[in-house]
Structure 1
Amino acid sequence: MAVPVRNQELPAAWQEGFPADPDFPQLKIASDPGLMLEVFRAHLKPVAGRLYHIEACLPVRFRCRQSRCVLQYSLRLRELTTGRQWDQWVTGLVYAAEGEAERLWQAMRAADPGREIPERWLTFEPLDFIPDLQMVVEVFPYDRRLPNLRRVMGGARREFEPMVLDRLGPGQWSAEERTVEPTRYRTELGAALKYTLEAREALTARSTTLRCYVKVYRNEHGAETFDLLRALSERARAGQRGYSVVRPITYLSELRSLVLEEAPGTALQQILLQGRDPASAVRAVARAVAAFNQDDLGITRRHSLADQLDDVKRASSLVQWAWPEARAEVEAMTAAVVRGLGEVPLAPIHRDLKPDHIFLWGDRVIFIDCDSVVLGDPVRDPAHLFAHIAGRGGLDSMPREQARAGAAAFVEEYFGHVPRPWRERFPLHCAGALIEVAAGIFKRQEREWPRKLTAAVEEAQRALSGGFR
């Protein structure tokens, strides 16, 4: 069954639109939640027998690459017959080339977009076209580049549920109730689903709740992640490392999906938001990150200096486009990063370290979302975690000075456990990471993104001047 949305207030609508772009004139409307609310109300077609009211429209993700833009929205729906409420993802695709969107829509429509979507996940017709905006609209879980997503949300549980129940040990365990909750979705790239099982043991009538996560991939990269997590989990159980990773359950190759246990403990993000002194938590994390960056993982995939600088330059271009007022500062910092960083010996890096990807459980530090693990400049990892804490990514309610203090404690502890020369290039990595954090704030269309983006740029300038010391 689908999970109704929690009873919470949606953020107020943004007042900030996107900059005018001659290649995508429809962005003026597409970036306005109020206007898009009316557009979706007028154009989305409920499937037969369903009656919905779209109560709100919230932009949640944006990306653009020269010839097209991908805009992801979350719609607050209310079913008129039952009063049930939930959030529904929809995606708009717009193209610079005249007529390209309509041609794509015609081709997608011919491929029967509703095929394999379970009935309980059908709300609106899965594919639509808005002529005035020249916009193709996909309704989750339909995704032309993630056809496996529809199948996973249907009957995939039969392939992994026995392995989840095996985690309970001896007994005749069976699942009595199941709940599927989509937790994350990036159009055309991947999705994550939380499965909750209410299990009962037949002989003793004992009952328990189990949770696992299923990550759906566009390609076979999940198989590599499964192999890495399995190897690291086995070493962690042997007590050989100063960190742990979330444990994998299985990889479903036909569905390109990775099944994972629920990470135990509390996310660093939650700890930072609790208002208490975060020093002990961030210091434990620092030691774990240092151990990870100096480990021998047996991996070969590389993220070179050129790759890293490309990441920074792409983020910089997006920030400058989105917020021209910061253009001069961002351009100067980007030039400093490109000019200052050089080739160094590569080491394992997580490459996506942020407070919600790290859990603390007793004296253990557990890393999740390890899909991006590669060989790279090891200082990139602490710089990115520093950037997310100091830049308060996902930490809006954390006071700035407390965030800075937590970030500084992390830095002090980390560099007490790694080679001394690593610290010399840390300010440059921090500046680059904060530019990427700023770009991420815009991509996620966070509330008051101009203010947050400006704050991230200020933190980058502060990092370059050594202000984290």
Structure 2
Amino acid sequence: MIASPAVHQDAPAAEPGKPGFPVDPDFPQLEIASDPTRMLEVFRAHLEPVAGKAYHIEACVPVRFRCRQSTSRCVLQYSLRVIDRGTGGAFDQWVTAVVYARPGDAERLWRELAATDPKRSIPDRWRTFEPLAYVPELEMLVQVFPYDRQLRGLGRVLATEGQEFAPLLRAQAGAGEWRAGAGRLELLRYRSEIGAALRYTLELRDMRSRRSQTRRCYVKVCRPGRGAATFQLMETLCAGHAEAGSAYGVVRPLAYLDELDTLVVDEAPGTALLELLRGRDDPMPAVRAAARALAAFHLSGRAIGPHEPLAEQIHDVERAASLLDWACPEVSDDIRAVAATVIADLTEAPPTPIHGDLKADHLFIAGDRVTIIDFDRVAMGDPVRDPARLYAYLTGRVGLDAVPAERAQVGAAAFIDAYFAHVPAEWRERFALQCAGALLEVATGLFRSQEPGWRRMVSAAVGSACRALSPRWA
């Protein structure tokens, strides 16, 4: 059985007194593409139900927009609320629109993809609309999930409902004559052309002792070749952890299935720090434990992953500032001032292992035990980037909408204090610069998510970056 997440929410509207979506002369289609009401009519007109189906598209919600990451195209992901006219049931359907700066590119790609018979890669139960559409008045290519031209393994993973993962979980069950029962594959997250995350749950029963257990693994469908290096790196990390008895844990990789471009990892023990921050109980013991674990990871002395040079980080800051300057011109002076200071003052630091994309849902807490997950961006770089990034996510309240701002701020400050209590004192001198740069990068994510109030949230993140640098500007 396969379950998919409900991602429906109210469509965002422009904030009173604020401009709407920014204008890009290279992509005039964005005026319509950024308007959920107008895109609802576009999808109603151009998405064709598969044979034997009849649907009504009730609502359209932007999910993630990737604009100005290149000069050639924009990738726009939406969630549609769809009503089945036959059964009356409702479901959420992801679709991705791609617009190109050069006339004719979208239509050309649509014809090339249509010639490959894209429907054959989609399991019958996932067929809703035809997988490809072309909107001539917007020169827009539309892909209907689960079709994704960059994730060739996605349809095959969904088609088998996770059966290829059952032997991996059975092998983790220990001694016994374990027989697999019902399995359940759940779709957790999808980012068009980047990856999909799923959870597979399997019920097992020992035919000798009649004991039963539930095992879970997490599955990441990647672009071709992207997951193999991560799997090898995780195997190396796990081996080193077992040898050293480290203060942190690494989620165990189970397999990389090359034919599916799919990475499979074990379930991390405990609860994500993000969930603990959202909860009612005091999260501070978990926050401090996570900080100590991150410090131990940075001080492990292991050389893993590629080297991340300072020039690459500077490029990230420049790109973030450029996007924000376009998206929120009302705070462009602050954006430029922050970027200029970070670029001018940031210096190369002795490299250590870094996570590279640390968020509160990448740290799992079980008592004093902390397990780190998601190693796609592990590298050798400035370790202060990791706590700065986590601090930026917490103070920006990414994923913490329901958490009072004061609670998020207190948690972020406690993490930073605990972290710097366990690393060399001179590392803290780099925190303000790294924090300001991280806040700009987090602000770009707030814009891309297109959540209601994104403009206000971006402005707040930029303001936090200014405050981080205010002692340097005094």
Shorter-chain TM-score tier = over 0.9
429-438 or 384-393: which moved more? 384-393
Answer yes or no: is 1:89 the counterpart of 2:74.
Answer: no
CA deviations on 1:256-282 (whole Å, 9 max, x unpaired) are 211111222111111111244432221
The one-letter amino acid paired with 1:344 is A
Q: 1:30 aligns with which of 28, 33, 41?
A: 33
**For the residues of structure 2 that align with 1:252 and 1:95, how far apart are their CA atoms?**
33
Report how far residue 300 of structure 1 moved: 4.5
* Equivalent position of 1:41 in the other structure: 44
* Equivalent position of 1:11 in the other structure: 10
CA deviations on 1:94-149 (whole Å, 9 max, x unpaired) are 00111111111111111111122111111110011011111100011111122122
Q: 2:425 aligns with which of 420, 435, 442?
A: 420
* Equivalent position of 2:251 in the other structure: 246
TM-score by length of 2: 0.93
Q: Secondary structure at the match of 1:214?
A: strand
Inter-CA distance 50–369: structure 2 relative to 1 (3 Å threshold): same
TM-score by length of 1: 0.94
Report how far residue 328 of structure 1 moved: 0.8
The one-letter amino acid paired with 1:49 is G
* Equivalent position of 2:108 in the other structure: 103
Within 5 Å, which residues of 2 pair with 1:137-216?
A: 137-155=142-160, 157-216=162-221
**For the residues of structure 2 that align with 1:41 and 1:86, how far apart are their CA atoms?**
15
* Equivalent position of 1:370 in the other structure: 375
**For the residues of structure 2 that align with 1:87 and 1:212, how far apart are their CA atoms?**
24
Inter-CA distance 4–344: structure 2 relative to 1 (3 Å threshold): closer
The one-letter amino acid paired with 2:29 is Q
* Equivalent position of 1:407 in the other structure: 412
Contact 1:241–1:291, Cα closer than 8 Å, also in 2: yes
Q: Secondary structure at the match of 1:41?
A: helix
Contact 1:33–1:57, Cα closer than 8 Å, also in 2: yes
Contact 2:162–2:184, Cα closer than 8 Å, also in 1: no
Contact 2:303–2:353, Cα closer than 8 Å, also in 1: no
Over the residues paired in the alignment, what is the CA RMSD in angstroms?
Answer: 1.9
The one-letter amino acid paired with 1:177 is A
Contact 1:290–1:417, Cα closer than 8 Å, also in 2: yes
Within 5 Å, which residues of 2 pair with 1:319-358?
A: 319-358=324-363
The one-letter amino acid paired with 2:73 is R
Report how far residue 304 of structure 1 moved: 0.8
* Equivalent position of 2:278 in the other structure: 273
* Equivalent position of 2:134 in the other structure: 129
Segments of structure 2 that go 5 or more residues without pairing to the other structure are none
Inter-CA distance 77–412: structure 2 relative to 1 (3 Å threshold): same
Q: 2:401 aligns with which of 390, 396, 405?
A: 396
Report how far residue 237 of structure 1 moved: 4.3
Report how far residue 330 of structure 1 moved: 0.4
Report how far residue 252 of structure 1 moved: 0.7
The one-letter amino acid paired with 1:2 is I
Contact 2:306–2:379, Cα closer than 8 Å, also in 1: yes
Q: 1:262 aligns with which of 263, 267, 292?
A: 267
The one-letter amino acid paired with 1:402 is R
**For the residues of structure 1 that align with 2:142 and 2:11, how far apart are their CA atoms?**
24
Report how far residue 209 of structure 1 moved: 2.9
234-243 or 456-465: which moved more? 234-243
The one-letter amino acid paired with 2:146 is P
Report how far residue 344 of structure 1 moved: 1.6
**For the residues of structure 2 that align with 1:202 and 1:147, how far apart are their CA atoms?**
38
The one-letter amino acid paired with 1:52 is Y
Report how far residue 208 of structure 1 moved: 3.5
* Equivalent position of 1:55 in the other structure: 58
422-431 or 272-281: which moved more? 272-281
Q: Secondary structure at the match of 1:465?
A: helix
* Equivalent position of 2:232 in the other structure: 227
Q: 1:380 aligns with which of 367, 381, 385?
A: 385
Contact 1:427–1:466, Cα closer than 8 Å, also in 2: no
Report percent identity of matched pairs: 55
**For the residues of structure 1 that align with 2:415 and 2:175, how far apart are their CA atoms?**
43
